[in-house]
Amino acid sequence: MTIGKTLSILLLAALLFFPVAKIIWVLSARRLHRKLKRELTADEVKGQLQRARVVAIPVVLLFSYLFHHHVLSSIYG
């Protein structure tokens, strides 16, 4: 893997990290809210955000790699 390809994958992953983490966080917090049937405390919300960020890291890295491999490789060879 070349440095340019690696940088391209990491740049795309960095750009996608915050939106993906926020989507995961919202879905996770809503699920917990429905499960507990009450408003979440600040600590619970913070825990869900931290969990969402941890989950988002491998998701965006895998997506970025697959996107680069399948889309950009077919265009640029």
Q: Which residues contact 39 (CB under 8 A, 6 or more apart)?
A: 33
CA 53 – CA 72 distance, rounded (Å): 27
pLDDT score for 18:
97
Residues of the chain with pLDDT under 50: none
According to the model, what pLDDT value does residue 39 have? 96
Break the chain into its structural domains and give their ranges: 10-76
- Residue 25 near residue 52 (C-beta atoms within 8 A): yes
Distance of alpha carbon 9 from the chain centroid: 14
Which pLDDT value is given to residue 77? 62
Q: What is the pTM of this model?
A: 0.86
